[in-house]
Amino acid sequence: MTQARIVLRDTVRERGQQLLETTKLGSLTELINVMFARYGRHLEETWEVKPMFPSLTQPEPLPEATTPTTATTAPMPETDFTFNEPLTGL
């Protein structure tokens, strides 16, 4: 087995210790091996973000919002529902 030495920042080492408690692995070496085995391909494939579809240089403008006038607005139907009543018929 080949050996390599790595240096971890204090914050990374603390995170590693937290992950050791969660995963119940025996050492940081085991943790790093698991991370490489499980997440290495994902990291490799997603390292550079590439758009799947051609992007538009200018987004289409949103349609103008129109406010209805009171003359053309239909009156709201009255309801006998209140939020204090329990839900029934489910």
Give the residue numbers spanning the domain of 25: 10-46
Residue 19 lies in a domain: yes
Domain membership flag for residue 71: no
Asked whether residue 26 is domain-assigned, the answer is yes
28 Cβ contact list (under 8 Å, min separation 6): 8, 13, 16, 20
Query: Phi/psi at 46 (nearest 5 deg)?
Result: -110, 5
Report yes or no on 24 lying in a domain: yes
pTM of the model: 0.50
- Distance (Å, whole) CA 43 – CA 75: 57
The verdict on residue 32 lying in a domain is yes
Q: Per residue in 14-62, pLDDT tens?
A: 999 999 999 999 999 999 999 999 999 999 988 887 766 666 666 667 7
In a domain, 2, yes or no: no
Indicate the SS3 state at residue 50.
coil
Determine, yes or no, domain membership for 79.
no
pLDDT number for residue 13: 95
Q: In the chain, how many domains are there?
A: 1
